[in-house]
């Protein structure tokens, strides 16, 4: 069993994502306040943990992180700051599961823009995470 398929994956709760966005609003990065559609946010978060026939649709940690990022970035649940909140949520989710992303700012910008304009799929994001993850100081 690979490390990415650990049995106990910590789920990010809705309140945590809302808090991430609230923190973004409070920072000096300009972003408009508010949630535009709570149902879209719930959908983006819950999609990572969906099952069908008793099987996870996104069984690995990296697939779950990619789906979380992809959903928050594309569902536009917030008035502003969806992509920034998506990046932060993905990074924190991975960190909670003992993973750290290592990337140059330009690399993340390319990923975010590619997801937002439809150039990159959720599967692509999973591959990107796999290539950019580090486990507690040991690159895997």
Q: Which has more pLDDT, 31 or 16? A: 16
Give the whole-number percent of the chain exceeding pLDDT 90.
59
Torsion angles phi and psi, residue 120, rounded to 5? -115, 135
List the chain domain ranges.
3-139
pLDDT at 4 over 80: no
Which ranges constitute the DSSP H helices of the chain? 14-26, 38-47, 61-75, 82-96, 105-116, 122-132
CATH number corresponding to 3-139:
1.20.120.1870
Query: Residues 6 or more apart from 130 whose CB is under 8 A from it?
Result: 4, 62
pLDDT at 76 over 60: yes
Give the separation between CA 9 and CA 93, rounded to whole angstroms: 9
pLDDT at 85 over 80: yes
Q: For the chain, how long is the longest CA-to-CA vector?
A: 46
């Amino acid at each position: 069993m690979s490390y990415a398929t650990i049995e106990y994956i910590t789920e990010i709760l809705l309140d945590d994502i809302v808090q991430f966005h609230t923190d973004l609003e409070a920072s000096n990065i300009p972003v408009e306040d508010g949630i535009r559609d709570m149902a879209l946010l719930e959908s983006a978060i819950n999609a990572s943990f969906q099952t069908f026939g008793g099987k996870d649709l996104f069984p690995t940690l990296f697939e779950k992180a990619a789906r979380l990022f992809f959903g928050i970035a594309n569902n536009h649940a917030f008035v502003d700051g969806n992509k920034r909140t998506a990046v932060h949520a993905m990074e924190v989710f991975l960190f909670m599961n003992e993973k750290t992303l290592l990337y140059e700012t330009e690399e993340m910008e390319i990923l975010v823009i590619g997801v937002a304009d439809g150039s990159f799929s959720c599967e692509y994001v999973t591959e990107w995470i796999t290539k950019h993850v580090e486990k507690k100081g040991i690159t895997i």
